[in-house]
Structure 1
Amino acid sequence: MRFHKIISVILHPIVIPTIGVLLYFLLVPNTIQKQLQLTILGLVFVVTYLIPVLLLAVLKAIGSIESYHVTTIKERKIPLAFMMVLFYLLGSTLIKLRSVSDLGILFYATSLGIVLVYVLFLTKLKTSLHLLSMGIAVGFFLLIQNNYGISFFPIIAVSILFSGLLGSARLHLKAHTPFEVYSGFIIGFLCPYFVNAFL
């Protein structure tokens, strides 16, 4: 039980964007100055980690959510609507910077994934956000691999392995049904390709 909780925290959806951007700067050939890389990484961390944490703290303080785990569909609606907009704005900002336009695709894809998760709320389906984020990461690096003709096999393989461990952990913790776990990963995986096709 402890292992499953630990991996769920380490690979939390609000952590993955920062890790993904860091890996992008480390693995993808680029001429971006280190200062700009740090600025972008800091922006991503603030927008995708600090702001969501502060939002959850406010929502908990006013009684809109019972815990930071936001386990019910009702509790997820406000945070996800907020994140949907934040990721879209972040994508809109980065897509304009030619040297990091790939990251614009990443955050547009994340915003799209959240939109689809939100739509599925109508069917009472609580899609796994953990697996959504991992699916987006795998799909994004596969897309970048195809676009640049450079193998990112190690990071993709490790990401898939972690996705399996994370999915198992979410099921073990009874946080989701198998369908919610699988659908989260599949939706996430497809979103970068969908966004890339229309940009």
Structure 2
Amino acid sequence: MDKILKSISFIFHPLIMPILGVVFYFAKSPRYIPPEIIKAKLVSLFILTIILPILLYFLLKTLRKVKSIYLESARERIFPLTLNFGVILIVLQRILTPTQVIELYYFFVGILISTLACLILAILKFKASIHMMAVSGLFMFFVALSIHFSININGTLALMSIIIGGVATSRLHLNAHTSKELVIGIFIGFVPQLLLVNYWL
């Protein structure tokens, strides 16, 4: 059971949530988008949101700014969150513009706001759950897309609800967070996506 719950935290790591949202969007969008553009954006986002943060983590570890990939203390989270905030800004300026793909643009604006909120809390020595922030933000984005495109994705939403429960259980079981930290994580992930719906839905 320990291995299963631990694997859940790795499988549904916060780093992969943005790219999952982008893949889901391109899979469900009724608009015609040239395949070469989709491929270019996916490759660019994969490099910026997954490969680059991993490389930056190893740099921070070499500089002894973080001790482990688990970022167990609020203080350890400050540098990674700051760098991730910068990465998302680059994505918004160079990869996803509101004139091209407005839904994904505001999805990443929501991620930016959530990251900033998590960073501020880390500076204040509160360790909000980044896992719950990421998965709850993605869930809200899926809900908004289902309404926006008038598509039935009840199966996906049900699966996402199970995933949210599994991630929360995993984080509690591994003593990575308290229930309060999980709830705050859900809040700062869900609310920005909900509020930003007004700009594109």
Task: Please state which band the TM-score falls in when normalised by the shorter chain.
Answer: over 0.9
Report the residue type matching 1:141 in the other structure: F
Residue 63 of structure 1 aligns to a residue whose secondary structure is coil
Residues 140 and 190 in structure 2, CA contact (< 8 A), matched pair in contact too: yes
Task: Please report how far the alpha carbon of residue 195 of structure 1 lies from its aligned counterpart in structure 2 after TM superposition.
Answer: 2.5
Query: In the superposition, relative to structure 1, how do residues 78 and 23 fare at CA in structure 2: closer, same or farther (>3 Å)?
Result: same
Deviations 1:37-57 (A, max 9, x none): 111111111111011000000
Match runs of 1:33-48 below 5 Å: 33-48=34-49
Task: Find the counterpart in structure 1 of residue 50 from structure 2.
Answer: 49
Task: Please report how far the alpha carbon of residue 191 of structure 1 lies from its aligned counterpart in structure 2 after TM superposition.
Answer: 1.2
Report the residue type matching 1:114 in the other structure: T
Residues 75 and 123 in structure 2, CA contact (< 8 A), matched pair in contact too: no
Query: In the superposition, relative to structure 1, how do residues 24 and 107 fare at CA in structure 2: closer, same or farther (>3 Å)?
Result: same
CA RMSD across the alignment: 1.5
Is the counterpart of residue 82 in structure 1 residue 83 in structure 2? Answer: yes
Task: Find the counterpart in structure 1 of residue 105 from structure 2.
Answer: 104
Distance 1:194 1:137 in 2: 14
Is the counterpart of residue 128 in structure 1 residue 137 in structure 2? Answer: no
Is the counterpart of residue 141 in structure 1 residue 145 in structure 2? Answer: no
Task: Find the counterpart in structure 1 of residue 97 from structure 2.
Answer: 95
Task: Find the counterpart in structure 2 of residue 2 from structure 1.
Answer: 3
Residues 95 and 105 in structure 1, CA contact (< 8 A), matched pair in contact too: no
Task: Find the counterpart in structure 2 of residue 11 from structure 1.
Answer: 12
Distance 1:58 1:187 in 2: 27
Distance 1:110 1:186 in 2: 12
Task: Please report how far the alpha carbon of residue 58 of structure 1 lies from its aligned counterpart in structure 2 after TM superposition.
Answer: 0.5
Distance 1:40 1:73 in 2: 33
**Percentage identity across aligned positions?**
26
Match runs of 1:58-73 below 5 Å: 58-73=59-74
Residues 132 and 186 in structure 2, CA contact (< 8 A), matched pair in contact too: yes
Normalised to the residue count of structure 2, the TM-score between the two structures is 0.92
Task: Please report how far the alpha carbon of residue 151 of structure 1 lies from its aligned counterpart in structure 2 after TM superposition.
Answer: 2.3
List gaps (5 residues or longer) in structure 2. none
Match runs of 1:164-175 below 5 Å: 164-175=165-176
Task: Please report how far the alpha carbon of residue 123 of structure 1 lies from its aligned counterpart in structure 2 after TM superposition.
Answer: 4.1
Is the counterpart of residue 22 in structure 1 residue 11 in structure 2? Answer: no
Report the count of equivalent residues: 198
Residues 91 and 106 in structure 1, CA contact (< 8 A), matched pair in contact too: no
List gaps (5 residues or longer) in structure 1. none
Is the counterpart of residue 178 in structure 1 residue 190 in structure 2? Answer: no
Task: Please report how far the alpha carbon of residue 122 of structure 1 lies from its aligned counterpart in structure 2 after TM superposition.
Answer: 4.5
Normalised to the residue count of structure 1, the TM-score between the two structures is 0.93
Query: In the superposition, relative to structure 1, how do residues 50 and 114 fare at CA in structure 2: closer, same or farther (>3 Å)?
Result: same
Residues 75 and 125 in structure 2, CA contact (< 8 A), matched pair in contact too: no
Distance 1:110 1:14 in 2: 11
- Please list every run of at least 4 consecutive aligned residues from structure 1 whose deviation after the TM superposition is greater than 4 angstroms: none
Query: In the superposition, relative to structure 1, how do residues 101 and 92 fare at CA in structure 2: closer, same or farther (>3 Å)?
Result: farther
Distance 1:27 1:148 in 2: 8
Residue 14 of structure 2 aligns to a residue whose secondary structure is coil
